[in-house]
Structure 1
């Protein structure tokens, strides 16, 4: 994989921006249900668990496709896979616009999840192909966070569209944006500075398994996976489905205020990106410590809100949103661990393994909240504040698991680094940073 800049310095930024727009569009489609949860409950006459199943299924498809998508990108290149992604996600969103039953809507969200699953790893591969290595941590962080502007478009604008245009036209408008994106992508995006289409060496099934096994055998890959598992699911929970109902039903905010807070969530996530990118670039030996600090801040902020007697004051809810905004950018640190733990030809597949972590935890979080709400308010669609507090408290189970695993694999990486230094006399900078 080439890490040399393109012949024209601005060209690499053009390619990156096109990839970023494709990713942002996928994030918009992924997040478009966040402010439509209550409307979907009425449209399809469904329970909390059934509503959660939209996001759960979407995340399940996303997580299950990450390793195959990583292999596809290594084999066929970002341009080809991104093209397929735009077609699939736009088709799914159009189907969701016209769905008039729960079953049809579920099928549409499967397509949205499948198309969404193909985008992010493609853009990460473009970053490593077009930018010098010293810039990769920062550009990768910016990719993950600027892409979340797609979620910003799914907050207040989507709320307005649903209220003024109706369900079908609101979702169909988003789907039609994919056609324009497809034209831009095919004209401007190349896989590398020297190749429009990058093609990897065809591998047999045995070779594919061996490549994945090699990535998984690297403790740094597993450390990155658990770092990615631990940090983003609270952001997913709030941004994709339960944030709006929680703020309106449990904290008794107006729809406009709740929508504004979800927009703030996206804005703070974007703001964290450059800071964490700079921090990781300057202090690569402290990457897992940074992740653990983020988890601690998340657990503390949620504890203050959930334990507050009655409705939490608005400044505390703003603080919660600002802290939760760090979860998505924090998960990006895991990809940097994968990048420095694996050779270039395994970058996409290792990233696919790691990307499973955060979307698995997000899936579990969304599912757990829906299950607890149904258990505490059986047969009702008006969930009590107390039920919501218990439901949101299920996040602590996932944080506990994630922290235990991060500490476990951090010790393994440190031990491996120490043994390699002793055996080979290598300096610390010649080895994969152990994310201390």
Structure 2
């Protein structure tokens, strides 16, 4: 067999490779968000309380976040193709388990598998970007992966939601499992590690050297800044898309399932248009990355303040505008990965990206739990008779402010460290 054909960076082949990676992430987002669409059906199927319902998504996010650093280490060793394909198969298995589950315990097992497969997708797709694209194009490609990949939520919002109503729980989740398996095969066939066809994985490391590599990443202030930017910016959109968006729109704002799906479509469309705008902005003005992050966080929490303080249900257009502002957090969180790729050596970029990606999902996990706890606690205290009452959501959704304040302090601290090491105008 002759040597593998050599391709150039920014070539047509590079766009084919990243398109396959984006397809993998697109399906991962679809698998991730199906439970949010089906959360009220799940409450009925498993006879679950609000806190128990939170457990599904909390464990999924916990597994996702907990595996980010191990996945980062593994992708630095084995490369992206094996990890993304393996993740697709894991998600397919998880959706099969969930489709057939008739108890809370088995439902949780299914979501854990989905979380594990999801964990092996996004950062592994990002890892091929420096090999295939020039430094000038990399920020836009990162945004393209995040924003187009997030369109996967449309698959759960529209066809999956409709299928759930037409044919029910089991066929709907089995269909999602089949799609994930198909994508796994496509990744094996077309995803390529680098232009020269060689694996970008590193040499085998023992446990001590692996831990040393992780510690080196943790000590770099750029990793800390990436972590805290992702923590602070991403979580409110993730909480809305992954768990509490549909229950909030249907119960607190009195929408039908169809109306809620229509509003969530704006959520997904915002990811694309805002994401590409932010990509161009940070490519031209990398020194404004922290400022952009704080601007998006401020817009999201201004939107939540309007919804929480509005007497009764807010007008439809006000809700749409607020959801658009909340949705901006998803593409804006990609700034964290641009920070990582600007400062971290490529041999450690998978590990550093994994650490960074933990941030948003730790914050999301915390916020999901606090919201569920606040809903049930108000019933226990006698403040409301129904955990999903509109008044209960006002208090519960305000709990997100606690997470945002902690994250903002982390961004300010780590940005100061990055500027001290790399220069006063780098972020």
TM-score, normalised to structure 1, is: 0.93
2:400 to 390, 395, 404: 395
Determine if contact 2:85/2:185 at 8 Å carries over to the other structure: no
Alignment correspondent of 2:332? 330
Distance 1:206 1:156 in 2: 48
Offset at residue 9 of structure 1 (A): 1.8
Distance 1:293 1:8 in 2: 32
Alignment correspondent of 2:276? 274
Offset at residue 6 of structure 1 (A): 2.9
Alignment correspondent of 2:170? 168
User: What per-residue deviation string (whole Å, max 9, x for no partner) do you get for residues 196-252 of structure 1?
Assistant: 543311111111111111111111110111000001111111111111111111111
SS at match of 2:314: coil
Alignment correspondent of 1:346? 348
Distance 1:191 1:167 in 2: 37
Determine if contact 2:86/2:184 at 8 Å carries over to the other structure: no
Alignment correspondent of 2:216? 214
Alpha-carbon distance change, 8 to 289 in structure 1, aligned in 2, over 3 angstroms = closer
1:67-78 matches, within 5 Å, as 67-78=69-80
Offset at residue 5 of structure 1 (A): 5.8
User: What per-residue deviation string (whole Å, max 9, x for no partner) do you get for residues 169-205 of structure 1?
Assistant: 0000010112321222122111111125433111111
Alpha-carbon distance change, 91 to 243 in structure 1, aligned in 2, over 3 angstroms = same
Q: Which moved more, 1:374-383 or 1:64-73?
A: 374-383
Alignment correspondent of 1:152? 154
Offset at residue 304 of structure 1 (A): 1.0
Offset at residue 415 of structure 1 (A): 2.0
Offset at residue 340 of structure 1 (A): 1.3
2:89 to 87, 90, 106: 87
Distance 1:128 1:381 in 2: 51
Alignment correspondent of 2:236? 234
Alpha-carbon distance change, 181 to 289 in structure 1, aligned in 2, over 3 angstroms = same
Give structure 2 stretches of 5+ with no counterpart.
Answer: 1-5
Distance 2:51 2:261 in 1: 22
Determine if contact 1:5/1:131 at 8 Å carries over to the other structure: no
Determine if contact 1:80/1:197 at 8 Å carries over to the other structure: no
Alignment correspondent of 1:417? 422
Determine if contact 1:237/1:362 at 8 Å carries over to the other structure: yes
Determine if contact 2:86/2:117 at 8 Å carries over to the other structure: yes
Alignment correspondent of 1:302? 304
SS at match of 1:134: coil
Alignment correspondent of 1:423? none
SS at match of 2:180: helix
Alpha-carbon distance change, 13 to 197 in structure 1, aligned in 2, over 3 angstroms = same
Offset at residue 7 of structure 1 (A): 7.5
SS at match of 1:33: helix
Alignment correspondent of 2:3? none
Alignment correspondent of 1:290? 292
Alpha-carbon distance change, 9 to 415 in structure 1, aligned in 2, over 3 angstroms = closer
Give structure 1 stretches of 5+ with no counterpart.
Answer: 419-427
Distance 1:106 1:416 in 2: 44
Alignment correspondent of 2:54? 52
Offset at residue 23 of structure 1 (A): 0.8
1:405 to 410, 413, 420: 410
User: What per-residue deviation string (whole Å, max 9, x for no partner) do you get for residues 312-351 of structure 1?
Assistant: 1111111111101110111110111111121111111100
Distance 2:44 2:152 in 1: 25
SS at match of 1:155: helix
SS at match of 2:136: helix
SS at match of 1:86: helix
